[in-house]
Amino acid sequence: MKSNKKAPRQQKAPSDAPKPTIESVLDDSIATLELGLQHLRAEIGLIAAGKAGKSKFDPASRIAFLSAGVGRIVDSLRKIESARARRFDDVTPALVMAWLRQLDQSERLSFLREASQIDARKSGLA
């Protein structure tokens, strides 16, 4: 006779992989959307050239449907870039000062030395 008892679930060991950052998630999202965009464009090109596989839909309908997908992807990309821009808008002088206070003295001095050189170099990029 079969037993209806379930085997106990095994707990997953915590991963040593670093937790993804917001920036890495945004970058991965952009990469995925760009990949989808490339494939949609390639499929539209095949349909327009008459080299796509047979379908019950006419080429114009297929291109229109895929073009709508391109539009959705472009809209998503715009939203992701907007989210990235908003993250920078949230950085205030008070947040920067709080971050500076958390640094040890040598890191803070190094940062301030670098910041004081911005006007001398006419650029914040080293």
Each of the 126 residues of the chain gets a pLDDT tens digit; together they read 555 666 666 666 566 777 888 888 889 999 999 999 999 999 999 999 999 888 888 999 999 999 999 999 999 999 999 988 888 888 888 998 999 999 999 999 998 888 888 877 765 555
Q: What is the pTM of this model?
A: 0.58
Lookup: tokens for 13: 């060991």
d(C-alpha 41, C-alpha 73), whole Å: 12
Do residues 29 and 80 touch, judged by C-beta distance below 8 A? yes
Residue pair 84/26 in contact (Cβ under 8 Å)? The answer is: yes
Instruction: Judge whether 36 and 73 are in contact, CB under 8 Å.
Output: yes
